[in-house]
Structures are given as structure tokens and as C-alpha cells.
Amino acid sequence: MSSRPAAGGGRWIEVDPARINRWVAGFTDRHGPPSVTIQEYGLLLSAPDGATAELHTPPGAPATTDLDAFVAAAIAPRRLGLLLARKGAVAVGAAEGERLPVHKVDTRYVQGRTAAGGWSQQRFARRRENQAKAALADAADLAVRLLLPEVDRLDAVVAGGDRRAVDGILADRRLAPLAALRADRLLDVPEPRYAVLVAAVAAARAVHVLVREPDRDPAN
């Protein structure tokens, strides 16, 4: 379980689906039995002391109307497509629950940037642009081979890495069926490798919870 500050206050917590029931129990112990309301993103827990917890439906899980159904849906195995891209590296996979039966990682060299004033900057920029385009084309081909045959069985496609790179790959017309399944979640991952792809399975399945604590009187 990881935690990070949230813009506008509170903190984001990523909870493994198998632990979400225990997490809600802990929230209840700390703040009192919450009321539950349906929201576009999932469910909102509002505790008697003013604390709130937004439970965001994980990618591929169906919308639910109560807490028990939310927990059951989060735990249930789902088939997720994974597309991670950063610079010239790409990792593609199809996960069944926590398993990753379909996967492939590929890397294509893309030159880094150089300081201004170097030799033939325009020529260098054109070469780098061509390398980047070739890397995106290879990544799209990989997604076509591995994910497109799975599209009818996928509940969602979760992307990660550099948003521009992912957008460029999914802009390929052949991948329109995959783009239609793309979840809002963008995983923050380093340069894709097999270990990064494996870790992305858990990150894609995690329940994102936005917790806001009640204001406390400093005098108390």
C-alpha cells in the first residue's frame, strides 16, 4: 500500500484489492461508521467525524451501488491490457487477475537531447525525431500482435509511462479498439522492463482511495 499527497488536500492511497475490506474496517474504527453514497468515480464514505474516503472503481471493474458489491468487484479477477512506454522502450501485456500470461518488452534506441550549440543541431533533431517515430511504430506493431487479438476479452487497457508516447502509439488506426478501452489511470513507471511490467499488474488493479481528514482545532 502506497500513499502520496493529493492536490487540494488529503492523500491518495493505493490499496491492493484483497486488502480493501480490511482498509475500510480500519477507516471505520478510526472515524466511526460512514455513510455510503454513489459517485461517478465509485463510492464516497463520509464518517461522523467529518473524514471522507473516495473509493475509485479500479480499471475494468463494474460500477456498484453498495460497499459489499464494490469490494467483490475489486477482488474479482479481470483481464487487463497493459501498455507501458517511455522513450524508446515499450512493454505490452495482458493480465488475468494477478497473472501475466501474455507479455513482451522491446527497446529501440532513441538519442537523448544535446546542449544547444552542438554540431548540426537541426540534423541531430531530425535524426532523433525519426528514431522516435520508428520506436512508436514498432510499439504499435507489438500492441497489434499481442493485444489486438485479446481485445474482445479485455475489461480495460491501462497505460503507463510517458503520456505522449502512449498517445502516439494508440493513435495508430489499427489500435482503435484498444484505445476505446483505455482507462483514465496512467501508471507512473520508469523505463519499461519485464519487472516493471509485472509490478504494473498490481498497480493497475489497485483501488485508489482519496482520504481527507477532518479539520482539527489546534487548541484541542
Residue 136's CATH number: 3.30.420.60
Residue showing cell 495482458 = 94
- Say which residue, 130 or 23, is predicted with more confidence: 23
Contacts of 200 (CB under 8 A, 6+ apart): 82, 84, 91, 93, 158, 160, 187, 189
Q: Nearest Cα to 28, choosing from 48, 1, 14?
A: 48
Q: How far apart are the C-alpha atoms of 145 and 78, rounded to whole Å?
A: 21
Q: Is residue 156 part of a domain?
A: yes
Residues 72 and 112 in one domain: no
Q: How far apart are the C-alpha atoms of 13 and 1, rounded to whole Å?
A: 7
Residues 108 and 67 in one domain: no
- In the chain, count of helices (H) and strands (E)? 6, 11
Residues 132 and 185 in one domain: yes
Which pLDDT does position 220 carry in this prediction?
Answer: 37
- Say which residue, 114 or 197, is predicted with more confidence: 197
Phi, psi of 40 (to 5 degrees): -60, -35
Contacts of 85 (CB under 8 A, 6+ apart): 91, 139, 159, 160, 161, 162, 165, 166, 169, 192
94-129 residue pLDDT tens: 999 999 999 999 986 444 555 455 556 665 555 556
Residues 33 and 11 in one domain: yes
Q: Is residue 40 part of a domain?
A: yes
Residues 120 and 70 in one domain: no
Residues 25 and 69 in one domain: yes
Residues 115 and 153 in one domain: yes
Residues 55 and 110 in one domain: no
Read off the pLDDT band of 25 (50, 70, 90): very high
Is 60 exceeded by the pLDDT of residue 23?
yes
Residue 92: strand, helix, or coil: strand
- Report residue 209 as a C-alpha cell: 482511495
Which pLDDT does position 28 carry in this prediction?
Answer: 96
Which pLDDT does position 188 carry in this prediction?
Answer: 94
- Report residue 177 as a C-alpha cell: 479498439
Question: Counting beta carbons within 10 angstroms of the beta carbon of residue 148, is it exposed (0 to 12), middle (13 to 18) or buried (19 or more)?
Answer: middle
Residues 13-42: what's their mean pLDDT? 96
Q: Is residue 219 part of a domain?
A: no
* Residue percentage of the chain with pLDDT more than 70: 85
List % helix, strand, coil for the chain (3-state, nearest 5): 40, 30, 30
Domain that holds residue 28: 2-76+206-212
* Residue percentage of the chain with pLDDT more than 90: 76
Enter the pTM of the model. 0.85
Q: Is residue 157 part of a domain?
A: yes
Inter-residue contact 36 to 45 (CB < 8 Å): yes
Inter-residue contact 169 to 143 (CB < 8 Å): yes
156-196 residue pLDDT tens: 999 999 999 999 999 999 999 999 999 999 999 999 999 99
Residues 65 and 98 in one domain: no
Tell me the residue type at 9. Answer: G
Q: Is residue 166 part of a domain?
A: yes
Q: Is residue 164 part of a domain?
A: yes
- Report residue 45 as a C-alpha cell: 464514505
Q: How far apart are the C-alpha atoms of 34 and 51, rounded to whole Å?
A: 9
Q: Is residue 220 part of a domain?
A: no
Residues 106 and 156 in one domain: yes
38-85 residue pLDDT tens: 999 999 999 999 999 999 999 999 999 999 999 999 999 999 999 999
Q: Nearest Cα to 43, choosing from 13, 59, 23, 63?
A: 63
Residues 87 and 21 in one domain: no
Residues 45 and 87 in one domain: no
Count structural domains, the chain.
2
- Say which residue, 117 or 30, is predicted with more confidence: 30
